[in-house]
Structure 1
Protein backbone atom coordinates (compact mmCIF):
# COMPACT_ATOMS: atom_id res chain seq x y z
CA UNK A 1 0.00 0.00 0.00
CA UNK A 2 1.24 3.47 -0.85
CA UNK A 3 2.03 5.83 1.98
CA UNK A 4 -0.89 8.17 2.63
CA UNK A 5 -0.33 11.63 1.18
CA UNK A 6 -2.24 14.68 0.03
CA UNK A 7 -1.74 13.47 -3.54
CA UNK A 8 -3.41 10.08 -3.06
CA UNK A 9 -6.17 11.11 -0.62
CA UNK A 10 -9.44 12.18 -2.30
CA UNK A 11 -9.85 15.96 -2.35
CA UNK A 12 -13.17 15.94 -0.45
CA UNK A 13 -11.58 13.85 2.32
CA UNK A 14 -8.22 15.61 2.53
CA UNK A 15 -9.84 19.06 2.51
CA UNK A 16 -12.92 17.99 4.44
CA UNK A 17 -14.11 17.72 8.01
CA UNK A 18 -13.72 14.34 9.71
CA UNK A 19 -16.96 12.60 10.58
CA UNK A 20 -18.22 13.72 13.98
CA UNK A 21 -16.01 16.80 14.09
CA UNK A 22 -18.13 19.60 12.65
CA UNK A 23 -18.21 22.76 14.74
CA UNK A 24 -21.71 21.95 16.00
CA UNK A 25 -20.66 18.43 16.99
CA UNK A 26 -17.52 19.67 18.76
CA UNK A 27 -19.44 22.33 20.68
CA UNK A 28 -22.20 19.85 21.61
CA UNK A 29 -19.75 17.20 22.82
CA UNK A 30 -17.76 19.78 24.78
CA UNK A 31 -20.95 20.81 26.55
CA UNK A 32 -21.94 17.16 27.19
CA UNK A 33 -18.50 16.56 28.74
CA UNK A 34 -19.09 19.46 31.14
CA UNK A 35 -16.74 21.92 29.49
CA UNK A 36 -16.50 25.34 31.08
CA UNK A 37 -14.19 27.14 28.62
CA UNK A 38 -16.12 28.92 25.86
CA UNK A 39 -15.08 27.22 22.62
CA UNK A 40 -17.82 28.73 20.43
CA UNK A 41 -16.09 32.00 19.68
CA UNK A 42 -18.18 32.92 16.68
CA UNK A 43 -17.89 32.23 13.01
CA UNK A 44 -14.51 31.76 11.35
CA UNK A 45 -14.30 33.97 8.30
CA UNK A 46 -10.60 34.61 8.02
CA UNK A 47 -8.65 33.58 4.98
CA UNK A 48 -6.84 30.32 5.43
CA UNK A 49 -8.58 28.04 3.02
CA UNK A 50 -8.66 28.56 -0.73
CA UNK A 51 -12.04 29.20 -2.34
CA UNK A 52 -11.79 25.97 -4.37
CA UNK A 53 -11.94 23.76 -1.25
CA UNK A 54 -15.00 21.48 -1.45
CA UNK A 55 -16.46 22.50 1.93
CA UNK A 56 -14.44 25.60 2.75
CA UNK A 57 -16.91 27.18 5.20
CA UNK A 58 -17.33 24.08 7.38
CA UNK A 59 -13.60 23.34 7.24
CA UNK A 60 -12.82 26.83 8.57
CA UNK A 61 -15.35 26.36 11.42
CA UNK A 62 -13.87 22.94 12.28
CA UNK A 63 -10.30 24.28 12.30
CA UNK A 64 -11.24 27.29 14.45
CA UNK A 65 -13.11 25.04 16.90
CA UNK A 66 -10.05 22.83 17.33
CA UNK A 67 -7.95 25.95 17.88
CA UNK A 68 -10.37 26.95 20.65
CA UNK A 69 -10.07 23.44 22.13
CA UNK A 70 -6.34 24.14 22.37
CA UNK A 71 -7.04 27.44 24.13
CA UNK A 72 -9.27 25.55 26.56
CA UNK A 73 -6.50 23.05 27.26
CA UNK A 74 -4.25 25.96 28.26
CA UNK A 75 -6.89 26.90 30.85
CA UNK A 76 -7.12 23.32 32.12
CA UNK A 77 -10.63 22.65 30.81
CA UNK A 78 -11.10 18.89 31.31
CA UNK A 79 -13.56 18.60 28.40
CA UNK A 80 -11.05 20.26 26.06
CA UNK A 81 -8.36 17.86 27.26
CA UNK A 82 -10.63 14.89 26.56
CA UNK A 83 -11.60 16.23 23.13
CA UNK A 84 -7.93 16.71 22.23
CA UNK A 85 -7.20 13.09 23.13
CA UNK A 86 -10.18 11.91 21.11
CA UNK A 87 -9.10 14.01 18.12
CA UNK A 88 -5.56 12.65 18.25
CA UNK A 89 -6.93 9.10 18.42
CA UNK A 90 -9.19 9.36 15.35
CA UNK A 91 -5.98 9.40 13.30
CA UNK A 92 -7.53 11.71 10.73
CA UNK A 93 -5.31 12.53 7.79
CA UNK A 94 -6.30 15.75 6.09
CA UNK A 95 -5.40 19.34 5.43
CA UNK A 96 -3.81 20.93 8.51
CA UNK A 97 -4.51 17.82 10.67
CA UNK A 98 -0.83 17.22 11.46
CA UNK A 99 -0.40 20.77 12.74
CA UNK A 100 -3.58 20.48 14.81
CA UNK A 101 -2.46 17.19 16.37
CA UNK A 102 1.03 18.59 17.08
CA UNK A 103 -0.44 21.62 18.83
CA UNK A 104 -2.87 19.57 20.87
CA UNK A 105 -0.14 17.12 21.96
CA UNK A 106 2.16 20.03 22.88
CA UNK A 107 -0.61 21.65 24.95
CA UNK A 108 -1.45 18.37 26.70
CA UNK A 109 2.10 17.97 28.05
CA UNK A 110 1.76 20.21 31.14
CA UNK A 111 -1.80 19.08 31.89
CA UNK A 112 -2.86 16.53 34.47
CA UNK A 113 -4.28 13.53 32.63
CA UNK A 114 -6.31 10.72 34.15
CA UNK A 115 -4.86 7.21 34.33
CA UNK A 116 -7.39 6.16 31.68
CA UNK A 117 -6.39 9.01 29.36
CA UNK A 118 -2.72 8.14 29.79
CA UNK A 119 -3.40 4.48 29.05
CA UNK A 120 -5.42 5.37 25.94
CA UNK A 121 -2.69 7.65 24.60
CA UNK A 122 0.12 5.19 25.29
CA UNK A 123 -1.82 2.35 23.64
CA UNK A 124 -2.60 4.52 20.63
CA UNK A 125 1.02 5.62 20.21
CA UNK A 126 2.16 1.98 20.36
CA UNK A 127 -0.41 1.21 17.66
CA UNK A 128 1.05 3.95 15.46
CA UNK A 129 4.58 2.59 15.86
CA UNK A 130 3.46 -0.99 15.21
CA UNK A 131 1.65 0.09 12.03
CA UNK A 132 4.45 2.44 10.91
CA UNK A 133 2.14 5.48 11.00
CA UNK A 134 4.58 7.90 12.59
CA UNK A 135 3.83 11.09 10.69
CA UNK A 136 5.09 14.60 11.41
CA UNK A 137 3.07 14.94 14.62
CA UNK A 138 4.72 11.86 16.12
CA UNK A 139 7.68 13.86 17.45
CA UNK A 140 5.24 15.78 19.70
CA UNK A 141 3.63 12.48 20.68
CA UNK A 142 7.05 11.20 21.80
CA UNK A 143 7.54 14.31 23.94
CA UNK A 144 4.09 13.79 25.46
CA UNK A 145 4.88 10.14 26.26
CA UNK A 146 8.21 11.17 27.82
CA UNK A 147 6.41 13.70 30.04
CA UNK A 148 3.83 11.05 31.02
CA UNK A 149 6.56 8.58 31.91
CA UNK A 150 8.38 11.16 34.01
CA UNK A 151 5.22 11.93 35.98
CA UNK A 152 4.49 8.20 36.44
CA UNK A 153 8.00 7.65 37.83
CA UNK A 154 7.89 10.66 40.15
Structure 2
Protein backbone atom coordinates (compact mmCIF):
# COMPACT_ATOMS: atom_id res chain seq x y z
CA UNK A 1 0.00 0.00 0.00
CA UNK A 2 1.29 3.44 -0.92
CA UNK A 3 1.65 5.81 2.04
CA UNK A 4 0.65 9.11 0.49
CA UNK A 5 1.49 10.97 3.70
CA UNK A 6 5.14 9.84 3.49
CA UNK A 7 5.24 10.94 -0.14
CA UNK A 8 3.82 14.33 0.89
CA UNK A 9 6.46 14.57 3.63
CA UNK A 10 9.13 14.43 0.94
CA UNK A 11 7.26 16.71 -1.43
CA UNK A 12 6.99 19.98 0.53
CA UNK A 13 9.45 21.87 -1.71
CA UNK A 14 7.24 21.02 -4.69
CA UNK A 15 3.93 21.54 -2.92
CA UNK A 16 4.34 25.28 -2.22
CA UNK A 17 4.20 26.24 -5.92
CA UNK A 18 1.39 23.72 -6.44
CA UNK A 19 -0.63 25.45 -3.68
CA UNK A 20 0.04 28.85 -5.29
CA UNK A 21 -1.23 27.48 -8.59
CA UNK A 22 -4.28 26.03 -6.87
CA UNK A 23 -5.07 29.42 -5.33
CA UNK A 24 -4.67 31.18 -8.71
CA UNK A 25 -7.00 28.75 -10.50
CA UNK A 26 -9.56 28.81 -7.67
CA UNK A 27 -9.65 32.63 -7.74
CA UNK A 28 -9.72 32.92 -11.53
CA UNK A 29 -12.66 30.51 -11.83
CA UNK A 30 -14.60 31.71 -8.80
CA UNK A 31 -14.06 28.32 -7.20
CA UNK A 32 -15.54 26.35 -10.12
CA UNK A 33 -12.14 24.68 -10.38
CA UNK A 34 -10.28 23.97 -7.15
CA UNK A 35 -13.10 24.05 -4.63
CA UNK A 36 -13.73 20.33 -5.07
CA UNK A 37 -10.83 17.97 -5.63
CA UNK A 38 -12.05 14.42 -6.30
CA UNK A 39 -12.08 12.32 -3.16
CA UNK A 40 -11.79 15.27 -0.76
CA UNK A 41 -14.24 17.56 1.04
CA UNK A 42 -14.66 21.11 -0.32
CA UNK A 43 -11.93 23.71 0.06
CA UNK A 44 -11.96 27.41 0.82
CA UNK A 45 -9.32 30.06 0.40
CA UNK A 46 -8.32 31.73 3.66
CA UNK A 47 -6.80 35.20 3.28
CA UNK A 48 -4.82 36.07 6.40
CA UNK A 49 -1.99 38.31 7.58
CA UNK A 50 1.41 37.11 8.77
CA UNK A 51 1.72 37.31 12.56
CA UNK A 52 5.28 38.65 12.40
CA UNK A 53 5.71 39.84 8.82
CA UNK A 54 2.34 41.49 8.29
CA UNK A 55 2.44 40.05 4.76
CA UNK A 56 -0.81 38.95 3.12
CA UNK A 57 -1.12 35.19 2.74
CA UNK A 58 -3.66 32.83 1.20
CA UNK A 59 -4.07 29.20 2.24
CA UNK A 60 -6.32 26.68 0.47
CA UNK A 61 -7.92 24.61 3.25
CA UNK A 62 -10.45 21.84 3.53
CA UNK A 63 -13.39 22.98 5.65
CA UNK A 64 -16.38 21.47 7.36
CA UNK A 65 -19.62 23.48 7.38
CA UNK A 66 -21.27 23.73 10.78
CA UNK A 67 -24.46 25.77 10.54
CA UNK A 68 -23.45 29.15 9.13
CA UNK A 69 -19.84 28.66 10.25
CA UNK A 70 -16.85 26.92 8.68
CA UNK A 71 -14.50 24.72 10.69
CA UNK A 72 -10.88 24.38 9.60
CA UNK A 73 -8.39 21.95 11.09
CA UNK A 74 -4.76 22.87 11.84
CA UNK A 75 -3.53 19.40 10.95
CA UNK A 76 -0.50 20.17 8.75
CA UNK A 77 -0.50 16.56 7.66
CA UNK A 78 0.18 15.37 11.20
CA UNK A 79 3.50 17.19 11.49
CA UNK A 80 4.81 17.93 14.99
CA UNK A 81 4.20 21.69 14.67
CA UNK A 82 1.12 23.73 13.83
CA UNK A 83 0.69 25.34 10.42
CA UNK A 84 1.80 28.96 10.12
CA UNK A 85 -1.72 30.08 9.30
CA UNK A 86 -2.83 29.14 12.84
CA UNK A 87 -0.34 31.57 14.40
CA UNK A 88 -1.45 34.21 11.91
CA UNK A 89 -5.10 33.76 12.93
CA UNK A 90 -4.19 33.94 16.61
CA UNK A 91 -2.53 37.32 15.97
CA UNK A 92 -5.08 38.62 13.43
CA UNK A 93 -8.40 36.76 13.77
CA UNK A 94 -10.50 38.98 11.48
CA UNK A 95 -9.85 37.67 7.97
CA UNK A 96 -11.51 36.91 4.65
CA UNK A 97 -12.49 33.55 3.21
CA UNK A 98 -13.54 32.64 -0.30
CA UNK A 99 -15.94 29.73 -0.54
CA UNK A 100 -16.54 29.09 -4.22
CA UNK A 101 -17.38 32.47 -5.73
CA UNK A 102 -18.54 33.89 -2.38
CA UNK A 103 -16.21 36.08 -0.32
CA UNK A 104 -16.96 36.33 3.38
CA UNK A 105 -15.45 38.35 6.19
CA UNK A 106 -14.97 35.98 9.11
CA UNK A 107 -13.73 35.99 12.66
CA UNK A 108 -11.44 33.04 13.43
CA UNK A 109 -11.86 31.51 16.85
CA UNK A 110 -9.79 28.57 18.06
CA UNK A 111 -11.94 26.10 19.93
CA UNK A 112 -11.10 25.48 23.57
CA UNK A 113 -10.46 21.92 24.80
CA UNK A 114 -14.09 21.24 25.71
CA UNK A 115 -15.49 22.58 22.42
CA UNK A 116 -12.84 20.66 20.49
CA UNK A 117 -13.62 17.38 22.27
CA UNK A 118 -17.29 17.81 21.36
CA UNK A 119 -16.63 18.63 17.68
CA UNK A 120 -13.62 16.39 16.94
CA UNK A 121 -15.64 13.16 16.41
CA UNK A 122 -17.78 14.87 13.75
CA UNK A 123 -14.69 16.36 12.10
CA UNK A 124 -12.90 13.00 12.04
CA UNK A 125 -15.99 11.40 10.52
CA UNK A 126 -16.38 14.20 7.96
CA UNK A 127 -12.77 13.90 6.75
CA UNK A 128 -10.97 10.66 7.60
CA UNK A 129 -7.62 12.28 6.68
CA UNK A 130 -7.90 14.49 9.76
CA UNK A 131 -8.18 11.33 11.88
CA UNK A 132 -5.06 9.92 10.17
CA UNK A 133 -3.17 13.15 10.77
CA UNK A 134 -4.06 13.07 14.48
CA UNK A 135 -2.65 9.54 14.75
CA UNK A 136 0.64 10.74 13.18
CA UNK A 137 1.35 13.37 15.84
CA UNK A 138 1.55 13.72 19.61
CA UNK A 139 0.10 17.24 19.53
CA UNK A 140 -3.61 17.86 19.82
CA UNK A 141 -4.63 19.21 16.44
CA UNK A 142 -6.41 22.54 16.89
CA UNK A 143 -9.85 23.25 15.40
CA UNK A 144 -10.74 26.77 14.32
CA UNK A 145 -14.22 28.04 13.59
CA UNK A 146 -14.61 30.80 11.01
CA UNK A 147 -17.66 32.84 12.03
CA UNK A 148 -19.12 35.04 9.24
CA UNK A 149 -19.40 38.70 10.21
CA UNK A 150 -22.38 40.76 9.14
CA UNK A 151 -22.09 43.95 7.31
Is TM-score (shorter-chain normalized) higher than 0.5? no
More helix by share: 1
Mark the structure with the bigger radius of gyration. Answer: 1
Q: Normalized per residue, which structure has more strand? A: 2
TM score, norm. by length of structure 2 = 0.31
